Every structure is written in structure tokens, then in C-alpha cells.
């Protein structure tokens, strides 16, 4: 069975095509400080402001602090507004965007189904330590629960309690009552220090379109 035929363990969707997400230990979710609903430009504070200022420097990834815990913010791509999460091995995960069903949509790249399969096989069979992925940095997950959340999710703090309900090796999507779909995902990855690495795979029939992957690998 090819890697591309293995189903994702979870998915996440933003309110629009933009896909700026933050990843951190779910135990720290209640330490996330949102921007005030009526904030003006001068009042734009909290973690969303920290993320936007960090990414505005031109970096693909911005490091953030969520309470006593560290995390990262990044934009995987700006076309589909969705990502899928795959478990590649017991200690390796991949956040992939755009998701496979977006590629196979007739309005996008459905005429290249076989090539899409090959693209996903290349992404999901890869060892991030040996492939052409760019190292991002370490991510400490002492609780073993990864929170991956769209930047503008209104109820990020809910991830702390919800993480307690996620089954071993499972995943739980959660929304905030705004828009369709779930803008947050909690994944049981197991406690430890994880290395993040980012990789882009160009579509061979369209160099302007890329499959973007953020790998999460537990340090041995």
C-alpha cells in the first residue's frame, strides 16, 4: 500500500485560504493571550500580535512563548486553508498542506491524480533527517499532546482540558463556533522533545504549486 493511500489521523481548517497556525504543548493552551475583540492597530497585543510581528520579518517560522512553554507559528500555504496530519511512524508526524482531496479536486489538479499520489508518497515516506527539509528547531511537549491551532481560533484555551480526552495515539479536532470546520487539532504524540523541519515539494507539472510539509520527529 502506498503512503498516499494511508488516511490522515486528523485535519484542520482555517476561516479562509490563509493557513497561519501555531503549535505548542496543549497543556499551555490557557496561557495563550488573544487580541482584544475591539483592538485597534495601537492596541493589537497578545500572541496574535507576536506571531504577526515575527512572520513580518520575512522568516517562514516565528518562535513564540506560550506561558512557560515554547512553540512556533508558521504559514504552510495560502491556497486551501486546510491541512492534514499523518503519523509516519511511532515518533514522526507530518502536517501537510494543501490536503490530498484539494489536489484531486477537478478545479485544482484532478487531471494529475497519479502524479499527486507520487507527490504524497515522496512526502510521507521521507525521513526528515535525510531529506531536503529545513530544520526549524526543537519543540518541548512534556504533556505529549500537540496543539495545532489556526492563529485566529477564538477558544484556544479549550485545548488544555480537551487534551485530557484524547485517546492514546489519537487526535481530536475542535472548533470555536465561528465559520465551518474545525480550526484546532490536538494530537497525542507522546511526551518528549521534537525536532521540527519544513519541506516544500514542487508539483512536477506546475512549479508554482507546492506540497508543503512540517515534520515533527521525536528526538531519540
Q: What is the dihedral of CA 40, 44, 49, 54, to 10 degrees?
A: 80
Domain with 101, as residue range(s), is: 3-218
Q: Nearest-CA neighbor of 175 among 8, 9, 39, 11?
A: 11
How many domains are contained in the chain? 1
43-86 confidence digits (pLDDT tens): 788 999 999 999 998 888 999 999 889 999 998 876 788 999 99
**Which contacts of 86-92 are long-range, i.e. CB under 8 A and separated by 24 or more positions?**
86/6, 86/8, 86/9, 86/124, 87/9, 87/169, 88/124, 88/125, 88/215, 90/190, 91/190, 91/192, 91/217, 91/218, 91/220, 92/128, 92/215, 92/216, 92/217, 92/218
118-161 confidence digits (pLDDT tens): 999 999 987 776 678 899 999 999 999 999 999 989 899 999 99
User: What residues pair up with 155 in beta bridges, in sequence order?
Assistant: none
Strand segments, DSSP code E, in 15-81 are: 20-25, 61-66, 69-75
The pLDDT confidence band at residue 191, using thresholds 50, 70 and 90, is: very high
Question: Residue 150 and residue 17: Cα distance in Å, rounded?
Answer: 11
Percent of the chain's residues with pLDDT above 70: 94
In sign, the C-alpha dihedral spanning 141, 133, 74, 52 is: positive
Question: Residue 2 and residue 100: Cα distance in Å, rounded?
Answer: 14
Q: What is the largest CA-CA distance in the chain?
A: 54
Question: Residue 85 and residue 214: Cα distance in Å, rounded?
Answer: 9
- Burial class (CB within 10 angstroms; exposed 0-12, middle 13-18, buried 19+) of 70: middle
193-206 confidence digits (pLDDT tens): 999 999 999 999 98
Predicted model pTM:
0.91
Give the pLDDT mean for 91-106.
Answer: 92
CA-to-CA dists, residue 1 to 6, 87, 117, 121, 163, angstroms: 8, 15, 12, 10, 32
The pLDDT confidence band at residue 212, using thresholds 50, 70 and 90, is: very high
Q: Are 115 and 103 in contact (CB under 8 A)?
A: no
Question: Residue 159 and residue 99: Cα distance in Å, rounded?
Answer: 23
The pLDDT confidence band at residue 4, using thresholds 50, 70 and 90, is: low
Amino acid at each position: 500500500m502506498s503512503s498516499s493511500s494511508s488516511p490522515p489521523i486528523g485535519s484542520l481548517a482555517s476561516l479562509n485560504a490563509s493557513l497561519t497556525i501555531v503549535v505548542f504543548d496543549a497543556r499551555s493552551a490557557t496561557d495563550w493571550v488573544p487580541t482584544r475583540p475591539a483592538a485597534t492597530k495601537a492596541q493589537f497585543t497578545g500572541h496574535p500580535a507576536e506571531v504577526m510581528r515575527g512572520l513580518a520579518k520575512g522568516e517562514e517560522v516565528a518562535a513564540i512563548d506560550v506561558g512557560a512553554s515554547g512553540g512556533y507559528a508558521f504559514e504552510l500555504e495560502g491556497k486551501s486553508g486546510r491541512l492534514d496530519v499523518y503519523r509516519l511512524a511511532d515518533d514522526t508526524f507530518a502536517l501537510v498542506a494543501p490536503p490530498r482531496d484539494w489536489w484531486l479536486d477537478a478545479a485544482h489538479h484532478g487531471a494529475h491524480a497519479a502524479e499527486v499520489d507520487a507527490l504524497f508518497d515522496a512526502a510521507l515516506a521521507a525521513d526528515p533527517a535525510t531529506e531536503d527539509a529545513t530544520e526549524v528547531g526543537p519543540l518541548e511537549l512534556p504533556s505529549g499532546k500537540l496543539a495545532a491551532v489556526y492563529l485566529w481560533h477564538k477558544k484556544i484555551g479549550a485545548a488544555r482540558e480537551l487534551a485530557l480526552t484524547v485517546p492514546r495515539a489519537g487526535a481530536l479536532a475542535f472548533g470555536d463556533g465561528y465559520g465551518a470546520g474545525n480550526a484546532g487539532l490536538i494530537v497525542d504524540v507522546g511526551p518528549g522533545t521534537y525536532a521540527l523541519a519544513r519541506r516544500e515539494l514542487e508539483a512536477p507539472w506546475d512549479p508554482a504549486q507546492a506540497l508543503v510539509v512540517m515534520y515533527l520527529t521525536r528526538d531519540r
